A and B are shown apart, each in its own frame.
Chain A
Amino acid sequence: AQKVTQAQTEISVVEKEDVTLDCVYETRDTTYYLFWYKQPPSGELVFLIRRNSFDEQNEISGRYSWNFQKSTSSFNFTITASQVVDSAVYFCALRVQGGSEKLVFGKGTKLTVNP
């Protein structure tokens, strides 16, 4: 069975602070995909990034960066110089190869960026 744990339920920061959202996953499959989604107050889930299990290279996209470490089964997400518009609930998700390829989500981390 697959499981995703986001231990941080809520985080509050002041604008321009850096913040890291933690994600730990569990799976016995060797081929899998990891995702981050953002859910702003409007409610629609927005895809941010995907990673496959064979690519541990970290990725940076503007103020966003992701750190994938198979040794610790973690896929952490860092926002640099946070902005008020970053306020949202962030979900980490796991999908294994084959089968229904359903997403298994963590419980989400609610990030509030205060001005």
Chain B
Amino acid sequence: GAGVSQSPSNKVTEKGKDVELRCDPISGHTALYWYRQSLGQGLEFLIYFQGNSAPDKSGLPSDRFSAERTGGSVSTLTIQRTQQEDSAVYLCASSWRGGWGEQFFGPGTRLTVL
């Protein structure tokens, strides 16, 4: 079956612009995660959605970052007024909630802020 998909695969933007990154989880997975991978910080958790529960936003680095998940499926991560330190690979993962629930990752979106 189809895995987690993300778009775009690459995004180059200018400092100060807003960007939107999209994630399509595996069908039937109720949990969705966003992570960020950068050279200096490794893999960092950003935000988690589970069903209709309030998302866990504890990993978002600033209020310029936000995310939503519509209809319990597709998710969009938005970064407003991008800064050069936002340059990273943004990874999306999905899983079944609870128990083992290993997370399956998408290919990521490489964001470059000039």
Contacts and interface: CB of A to CB of B under 8 A. Distances in A.
Contacts, number: 54
Interface stretch (A13-21, A69-77, A97-105): A97-105
B61 interface: no
Contact of B91 (A45, A52, A100, A102): A45
Given A45-B105, A102-B56, A104-B45, 17 more contacts: A35-B102, A42-B107, A43-B107, A45-B93, A47-B103, A47-B105, A93-B43, A100-B45, A101-B97, A101-B101, A102-B33, A102-B59, A103-B33, A103-B35, A103-B93, A105-B44, A108-B42
B25 interface: no
Nearest to B100: A50
Contacts of A33: 100
Interface in A63-115: 91, 93, 99-108
- The B contact surface, by secondary structure, is strand
28 contacts: A33-B100, A43-B107, A43-B108, A44-B107, A44-B108, A45-B105, A46-B105, A47-B103, A47-B104, A47-B105, A50-B102, A52-B100, A91-B43, A93-B43, A99-B56, A100-B45, A100-B50, A101-B31, A101-B48, A102-B33, A102-B56, A103-B33, A103-B103, A104-B45, A105-B42, A106-B42, A107-B42, A108-B43
A105 B89 CA distance: 15
A100 B58 contact: yes
A103 B105 CA distance: 12
A45 B100 CA distance: 18
Interface string B56-93: 10110000000000000000000000000000010101
Interface of B: 31, 33, 35, 42-45, 48, 50, 56, 58-59, 89, 91, 93, 97-98, 100-108
